[in-house]
């Protein structure tokens, strides 16, 4: 494993631009984070030494969920008939398996309820007929959209886990901001297909933040960089 530190992941840009504004964008490498860790403690240990006034700290929703005990071993999930049926209609993408396996679909049913998932499935099917994407998750909500399934390229032991959406992302971001003396904190769901701002310690321009994080600077594989910093710069 590479040394813990503050740097730009391979294949990512250290300077990003959105509507003419430039920001330095770097990731923070940590040890493997589990439910035994305090989220505040992890942020204070690994991120706080690098923060400056005006920075925005963005944190992977997966790390937050893991500290909340919302990472479940794949073997502990017993899919029902509905989960097995519905998962067969979900397309697996380059960003991961999503709800395309019975175990992750079962988690979505637990998180959102049978009725909501059935309604979302109906809208998803209608969207496919109309050539529209995302209708399923628009109805199901962020708790379904954020579910991460097991995949070979995820750092162990999470390559055999299902990670659920973090709880109370706005409240969590605000608590972290307070611990950091007022730094703006965002909890983000980012992958190679898109970025969503799940929670923030204060109101932010979500379109701008998503644009700055479009390259998925924390990576999609075994980088072990669950946090990063955006810092406004005057020139590249």
- Is 206 a residue whose pLDDT tops 90? yes
Encode pLDDT of 113-128 as tens digits: 999 999 999 999 999 8
Closest-CA residue to 19 (of 212, 235, 202, 230): 212
Q: Taking residues 92-109, report their average pLDDT.
A: 86
**Burial profile 20-54: b = 16 or more Cβ within 10 angstroms, e = fewer:** eebbbbbbbbbeebeeebebeebbeebbeebbeee
The contacts of residue 76 (CB under 8 Å, 6+ apart) are none
According to CATH, the topology of domain 6-70+166-233 is 60s Ribosomal Protein L30; Chain: A; (3.30.1330)
Q: Report CA torsion sign: 213, 195, 64, 218.
A: negative
Would you say residue 17 has pLDDT above 60?
Answer: yes
Closest CA to 235 of 1, 24, 88, 19: 24
User: Tell me, what's the pLDDT at 95?
Assistant: 62
Q: Residue 67: pLDDT above 50?
A: yes
What ranges do the domains of the chain cover? Answer: 6-70+166-233, 72-163
């Amino acid at each position: 494993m590479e040394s813990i530190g503050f740097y730009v992941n391979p294949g990512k840009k250290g300077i990003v631009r959105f509507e003419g504004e430039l920001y330095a964008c770097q990731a923070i490498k940590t040890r493997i984070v589990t439910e035994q860790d305090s989220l505040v403690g992890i942020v204070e240990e690994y991120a706080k030494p690098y923060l400056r006034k005006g920075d925005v700290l963005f944190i992977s929703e997966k790390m937050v969920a893991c500290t909340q005990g919302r990472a479940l071993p794949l073997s502990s999930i017993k899919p029902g008939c509905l989960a097995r049926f519905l998962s067969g209609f979900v397309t697996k993408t380059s960003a991961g398996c999503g709800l395309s396996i019975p175990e992750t679909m079962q988690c979505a049913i637990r998180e959102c309820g049978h009725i909501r998932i059935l309604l979302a499935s109906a809208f998803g099917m209608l969207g496919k007929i109309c050539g529209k994407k995302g209708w399923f998750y628009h109805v199901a909500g962020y708790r379904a959209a954020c579910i991460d399934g097991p995949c070979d390229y995820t750092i162990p032991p999470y390559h055999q886990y299902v990670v659920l959406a973090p709880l109370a992302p706005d409240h969590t971001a605000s608590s972290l901001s307070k611990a950091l003396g007022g730094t703006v904190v965002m909890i983000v769901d980012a992958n190679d297909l898109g970025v969503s701002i799940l929670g923030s310690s204060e109101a932010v321009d979500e379109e701008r933040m998503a644009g700055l994080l479009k390259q998925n600077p924390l990576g999609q594989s075994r980088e072990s960089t669950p946090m990063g910093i955006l810092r406004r710069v005057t020139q590249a």
